[in-house]
Amino acid sequence: MEPLPSPASMDVEAPAPAEPTLPAKPLFAPLKAQEMSDGRVQFRKVSVPPHRYSPLKKSWMDIYTPVYEHMKIDIRMNLKARKVELKTRRDTPDVSNLQKCADFVQAFMLGFDVPDAVALLRLDELYVESFEIKDVKTLRGEHLSRAIGRLSGKGGKTKFAIENATKTRIVIADSKIHILGSFANIKIARDSLCSLILGSPAGKVYSKLRAVSARLAERF
């Protein structure tokens, strides 16, 4: 006799394990500038060259107001060391404000006007680039004087034309050249100035500038 088949055991579904409940996400208040630097006060010092001492005295309030009131950075003039000193405060909203203010004061010392240099505080993508004529070509005596004359043009005409076409600001201080603007615009202005130093006539530089500025206008 064959044994009777045992009744099929009923499949019972095991209850699914309960998902572990995650703890609530913590909400941290944003760190203040003072807390980011562990409560340490940060300093910057900018040297004042002798020829910028009088302009600094005249424009002191124009420099002081945006730095102290808007960027919340303490600023003072150290008469003994002849340096402008900057430091963070408890209510400084951002640590990067200190470096922006130092760049702004440094731009003024290089010879830029306050309204132009203030743009460094308002915009992030602005830079100051400096180079010397001898970095491009070694010139001496009359040749150097003529090169500086070519860069400025009659009554500063050439310099203003390059500034307006490239949306930059240029300072020609003896054989040093300082350019304030965005990265791409500085490159275009620098190329034009280098062409003039190497002996290109102003007309040729103007026509090249027109083509480049038209390309820039199409891009944006």
3-state per-residue secondary structure call for the chain: CCCCCCCCCCCCCCCCCCCCCCCCCCCCCCCCHHHHCCCCCCEEEEECCHHHHHHHHHCHHHHHHHHHHHCCEEEEEECCCCEEEEEECCCCCCCHHHHHHHHHHHHHHHCCCHHHHCHHHHCCCCEEEEEEHHHHCCCCCHHHHHHHHHHHCHHHHHHHHHHHHHCCEEEEECCEEEEEECHHHHHHHHHHHHHHHCCCCHHHHHHHHHHHHHHHHHHC
Domain count for the chain, please give it. Answer: 2
Which residue, of 124, 140, 167, is where some domain finishes? 124
What does the pLDDT read at residue 78?
Answer: 92
> Domain check: are 139 and 108 in the same one?
no
What does the pLDDT read at residue 30?
Answer: 76
> Domain check: are 157 and 213 in the same one?
yes
> Domain check: are 99 and 178 in the same one?
no
Query: Residue with structure tokens 């830079």?
Result: 127
Please check whether residue 20 lies inside any domain of the structure. Answer: no
What does the pLDDT read at residue 107?
Answer: 94
Which residue, of 95, 124, 153, is where some domain finishes? 124
> Domain check: are 94 and 153 in the same one?
no
Which residue, of 124, 142, 169, is where some domain finishes? 124
Model pTM score: 0.77
CATH code for position 102: 3.30.1370.10
What does the pLDDT read at residue 212?
Answer: 82
Q: CA-CA distances (angstroms) from residue 125 to 39, 100, 139?
A: 29, 11, 33
Answer whether 87's CB lies under 8 Å from 42's CB.
yes
> Domain check: are 63 and 105 in the same one?
yes
> Domain check: are 79 and 151 in the same one?
no
Q: Which domain holds residue 181?
A: 128-218
> Domain check: are 145 and 209 in the same one?
yes
What does the pLDDT read at residue 220?
Answer: 57
pLDDT averaged over consecutive 10-residue blocks of the chain (220 residues)? 57 64 82 69 91 93 92 92 91 86 94 92 90 88 88 88 91 91 91 89 87 75
What does the pLDDT read at residue 59?
Answer: 92
Residues across the chain: 220
Using alpha carbons only, give the angle 91, 97, 101 rounded to the nearest 5 degrees.
Answer: 120
What does the pLDDT read at residue 33?
Answer: 63
Residue 198 neighbours by CB under 8 Å, 6+ apart:
136, 137
Answer whether 168's CB lies under 8 Å from 176's CB.
no
What does the pLDDT read at residue 80?
Answer: 93
What does the pLDDT read at residue 153?
Answer: 86
What does the pLDDT read at residue 103?
Answer: 93
Nearest residue to 192 via CA among 217, 168, 219: 168
